[in-house]
Amino acid sequence: MSDTYTTKATPAQKAAFKAAFDFKPPFADIVCNLQSSLDEEVWFDDSDWDPAFNWGEDADAVWQAIAEDADELTALRPRNANDLAQQRMSGLIARAIRSQSLVEIDDVLARSAWCLDAAKRLCTPEVHYLLAEAHECLDRMVCLAGAQIAEEEASALPWSHSLAA
C-alpha cells in the first residue's frame, strides 16, 4: 500500500491564493522600477557621457509606464489594511510622477509620510518596508526636482552667464 496522497486545490482555494497576491508583488515591482529609474537618471546626470546618449525621451516613457502601473494598482479594491496602504501609496507615486510643480510633489511627500506612519501601526513589517522604500523614492524625486529647478533658475540669473564664460 502506498503512502502517497495527492491533493487538488479547489476553485475556492485557487481564487484565495490568487487574491492574496493582488497587491504585494505588483507594488514591489512599482517600487523596484521607481528605484532603478531614479538611479538611472542620477547616473546619467553625474556621468560625462555625450549628450547624444541622452535617454530623456525613453525616460518619459518609462515614467509614464510606472505611473500607469500605479494607477492600475490604485483601481483594485483593497481587502485589508496592507492593501489599502499599498493602494494609497500607489496613488501618491502616480501623482508624484505627473506633478508639475515642486509644491505639488512636496505635498505628495508629506502625504506619503502620513501613509507610512499609519502603516507602522496597521500593516505587516513586509508591507511597511515596501512603503518605506516608496517614501524614500519619493523623497529622492523631490530632491532631484528641487536640484533641477534650482539649476534652471540659476541659469536664468544674469551673472550665471558671465560665470559660465
- Structural domain tally of the chain? 1
Flag whether 1 is in a domain: no
Flag whether 39 is in a domain: yes
State the Cα–Cα distance between residues 3 and 1, nearest whole angstrom: 7
Among 19-33, 87-101, 140-154, the range with the most confident prediction by mean pLDDT is 87-101
Output 147-152 pairs: Cβ under 8 A, ≥24 positions apart: 149/102
Flag whether 65 is in a domain: yes
Question: Could you tell me the sign of the dihedral formed by the alpha carbons of 34, 140, 106, 103, in that order?
Answer: negative
Which contiguous run of DSSP H or E holds residue 127? helix 125-156
Mean pLDDT, range 27-55, rounded to an integer:
72
Flag whether 161 is in a domain: no
Flag whether 162 is in a domain: no
**3-class secondary-structure state, position 69:** helix
Flag whether 71 is in a domain: yes
pLDDT at position 59 is 72
24-46 helix and 125-156 helix, angle to the nearest 10 degrees: 30
Flag whether 163 is in a domain: no
pLDDT tens sequence across 50-106: 555 566 667 778 888 899 999 999 998 888 999 999 999 999 999 999 988 888 888
Contact 123, 86 (CB under 8 A): no
State the Cα–Cα distance between residues 145 and 164, nearest whole angstrom: 22
Residue 156 pLDDT exceeds 80 = no
Calculate ∠ Cα 54-55-59, nearest 5°. Answer: 145
Q: Which residue range(s) make up the domain with 41?
A: 22-47+55-156
User: What letter would DSSP give residue 21?
Assistant: T
Flag whether 9 is in a domain: no
State the Cα–Cα distance between residues 127 and 132, nearest whole angstrom: 9
